[in-house]
Structure 1
Amino acid sequence: MTAKLSVGVFCGASTGNSPRYLDVGGDLGRLLAERGHRLVYGAGGVGVMGAVARSTAAGGGHILGVIPEFLRAREMTDDLPSQELVLTGDLFDRKRMMIGGADAFIALPGGYGTVDEVVEVLSMAALGLDVGPLVLIDVAGDWDPFLDMVDGLARRGFARRTDLCHVVGGAAEALDLVEALTVAVVPQARRSESEPARAH
């Protein structure tokens, strides 16, 4: 039986220019709920972010949403699904809490914030810090420019490893890989639904 995980999901608050982004986000949320995993995300109710959360909630999944106070005040009209909501002082605290509260990470396409969160996890992994696996879902070649940049860093001698994340084509494949990669993690590393997220 697969251990229940807290999965940090990074993704855009916009819909993107193709309905496939929302479709894949919905698929991921549905599968998180079906498999009993907790969604840890940025507490947005719109865009790809909202699609993941609404689908998770519709399936009865547990959700931890983390958002800065200033951003929540700006988005008060957003229709958030049922979730445990944590307000932070700023974007940095939000990122620390999301990363500290997750066993593994899945990134869907998104904007600056999504890229920032992905780079943070990669930086931690490169330094040998205790951070879970990172899987990128590539819907339409979205991550190719980013991966080219990472390869360029290595070619120029600024990065030693280019194998710190995994790229897949869909939600089921992403969750399958996350589950496989966390099998060897000690049980106490798992975070139960009642345990609050911890910032590292």
Structure 2
Amino acid sequence: MTTATIERKENVLKTVCVFCGSSFGNNDSFVKAADTLGKLLAERKWGLVYGGGSTGIMGSVARACATNDGYVHGIIPEALIARERTSSTEGLNEKLKESINNHDGSTPLPDSKEYGHTTLVKDMHTRKRMMGEEADAFVALPGGYGTLEELMEVVTWFQLNIHNKPIIIYNVDGFYDGLMQFIQDAIKSEFVSAKNGEIIKIAYSAEEVLEAIEKYRIPDGRFNLKWDST
């Protein structure tokens, strides 16, 4: 991480990990929601850690935060560079190509005015671990399988007492209504306790997302497990 990035990080009040799609979807509201959230994070001096892509609403939230002088840290595996960062390596400058070709498992790429600081890693597990370690809260915007997998993993970690960080769903135009119904069905069928059903908080605007993070209270009912952090 560059010295400039470190100085900027020190001024960040908290960092929010945003999970979201690498596609735009078919609803303009998804892009607008991502843009608004990114801008509000920058205005609030809250940082963004995300999957490191420049495509879809993933790129939208990062650009909105970075171009408004917000702190952005993207973490992306080498295998996804061609899909989520650019259409092909032909669009990359020589310094970036050299970083990709010579990375050692956790390599910083050249900083970008649009996407902030980017770290290249070897695999998905490292990406998710690093995002989770840096984050003070987790937010899910609309997305597909990957977004759902990331969201459910941090929810499970919360239930298992691995972390106690706020988890918020930004339910843009009812995108997550089906998931919320699934959770209620799982509670009714006694696969999830009612108390653990309160792990996820729902927001319907970017302002509500930040408010939900600030007001988040750890619900009762988590498993009282001890984990070796070393």
Higher relative contact order, structure no. (Cα contacts within 8 Å, ≥ 6 residues apart): 1
Over 3 Å counting, the alpha-carbon distance change for 1:138 and 1:82 in structure 2 is closer
Aligned equivalent of 1:179: 214
Q: Deviations over 1:35-60 (max 9, x none)?
A: 10110000111111111011101110
Aligned equivalent of 2:22: 13
Quote the Cα distance in structure 2 between the aligned partners of 1:131 and 1:13: 27
Secondary structure of residue in 2 paired with 1:174:
helix
Secondary structure of residue in 2 paired with 1:162:
helix
Percent identity, aligned pairs only, is 38
Q: Does the Cα contact within 8 Å between 1:137 and 1:169 map onto a contact in 2?
A: yes
Gaps of at least 5 residues in structure 2 are: 1-11, 92-111, 218-228
Q: Deviations over 1:117-175 (max 9, x none)?
A: 11011101111222310111111111111111122222222222211111111111101
Q: Which protein is bigger by CA-based radius of gyration?
A: 2
The answer as to 2:86 corresponding to 1:86 is no
Aligned equivalent of 1:50: 59
Secondary structure of residue in 1 paired with 2:198:
coil
Aligned equivalent of 1:187: none
Aligned equivalent of 1:195: none
- Per-residue deviation at 1:76? 4.9
Aligned equivalent of 2:146: 113
Quote the Cα distance in structure 2 between the aligned partners of 1:27 and 1:54: 11
Q: Deviations over 1:165-186 (max 9, x none)?
A: 111111111012212338xxxx
Q: Does the Cα contact within 8 Å between 1:103 and 1:131 map onto a contact in 2?
A: no
Quote the Cα distance in structure 1 between the aligned partners of 2:53 and 2:147: 13
What letter corresponds to residue 153 of structure 1 in structure 2? Answer: A
TM-score by length of 2: 0.74
- Per-residue deviation at 1:25? 0.3
The answer as to 2:176 corresponding to 1:146 is no
What letter corresponds to residue 156 of structure 1 in structure 2? Answer: S
Q: Does the Cα contact within 8 Å between 1:43 and 1:66 map onto a contact in 2?
A: yes
Q: Does the Cα contact within 8 Å between 1:67 and 1:94 map onto a contact in 2?
A: yes
Quote the Cα distance in structure 1 between the aligned partners of 2:154 and 2:49: 14
Q: Does the Cα contact within 8 Å between 2:55 and 2:85 map onto a contact in 1?
A: no
Task: Name which of 25, 31, 35 aligns with 1:26.
Answer: 35
Gaps of at least 5 residues in structure 1 are: 183-198
Aligned equivalent of 2:158: 125
The answer as to 2:132 corresponding to 1:99 is yes
Q: Does the Cα contact within 8 Å between 1:6 and 1:101 map onto a contact in 2?
A: yes
- Per-residue deviation at 1:84? 1.5
Paired residue total: 182
Q: Does the Cα contact within 8 Å between 1:121 and 1:131 map onto a contact in 2?
A: no
Secondary structure of residue in 2 paired with 1:113:
helix
Quote the Cα distance in structure 1 between the aligned partners of 2:44 and 2:82: 33
- Per-residue deviation at 1:75? 4.2
Quote the Cα distance in structure 2 between the aligned partners of 1:75 and 1:147: 28
Name which of structure 1's ranges 63-72 and 152-161 shifts more when overlaid on structure 2: 152-161
Indicate the RMSD between aligned Cα atoms, in angstroms.
2.0
